[in-house]
Amino acid sequence: MTYRVESPEEMIALGRGIAADLDSGSVVLLSGNLGAGKTTLSKGIAEGLHATSADDVSSPTFTLIHEYGAPVLMVHIDLYRLEDPRQLATLGLEEIFERGVPVIIEWPERFLRWLPPAHSFIRIEHDGDAR
Ligand code: ADP
Ligand code: MG
């Protein structure tokens, strides 16, 4: 499926819609260049999961993992800063995937072999004309 979204607000709304299709074991991989809108889509997913408000969601670029909700209703991971697959082991991903909450992962490309094979893959692209 392909969607066209023309603003951050539409991106967040799309995320809310995606959240409605997720279940407790869902893993969502968000692919796309820097600034494509991965974190913005994650904001909408977080809202749709009733984990937190869009404004509360920030990029886990440096912290690598953010958890939202109490109890946790969504885990948001950014693998951008990870250089080596061995570093993945230090994140405790196995335990995270067993927690039964949706896991959203930005920059998954280099680590696909170590991520759950059952996932949703969303590729976000700028439209050349749009910006
Ligand atoms: P990424 O996480 O992929 O690096 P962000 O989600 O941080 O990207 O988005 C980068 C910028 O683009 C933000 O300022 C965001 O508000 C804006 N943005 C996101 N989606 C869209 C869109 N569909 N149209 C226009 N701007 C967008
Ligand atoms: Mg981001």
The string of pLDDT tens digits covering residues 67-93 is: 999 999 999 999 999 999 899 989 999
Per-residue pLDDT for 128 more than 90?
no
Distance 94 CA to ligand 1 centre (A): 29
Kindly give the number of the ligand 1 atom that is closest to the alpha carbon of 34.
4
Give strand pairing partners of 27: 103
Please indicate whether residue 62 or residue 19 has the higher confidence score (pLDDT): 19
**pLDDT-based confidence at 16, cuts 50/70/90?**
very high
Looking at ligand 1, which residue's alpha carbon is closest to its atom 11? 35
d(CA 101, CA 73): 6
Looking at ligand 1, which residue's alpha carbon is closest to its atom 10? 35
Residue 80 near residue 61 (C-beta atoms within 8 A): yes
Instruction: Output the pLDDT for position 129.
Output: 62
pLDDT, tens digit (0-9, with 9 covering 90-100), for 39-71: 999 999 999 999 999 999 999 988 999 999 999
- By the CB criterion, residues less than 5 angstroms from ion ligand 2 are 38-39, 59
Per-residue pLDDT for 130 more than 70?
no
**pLDDT-based confidence at 108, cuts 50/70/90?**
very high
- Is ligand 1 within 6 A of the CB of residue 85? no
Instruction: Output the pLDDT for position 127.
Output: 84
- The ligand placed nearest to the CA atom of residue 41 is 1
Q: Phi/psi at 128 (nearest 5 deg)? A: -55, -30
Instruction: Output the pLDDT for position 89.
Output: 87
What is the rounded average pLDDT for all residues in the chain?
Answer: 95
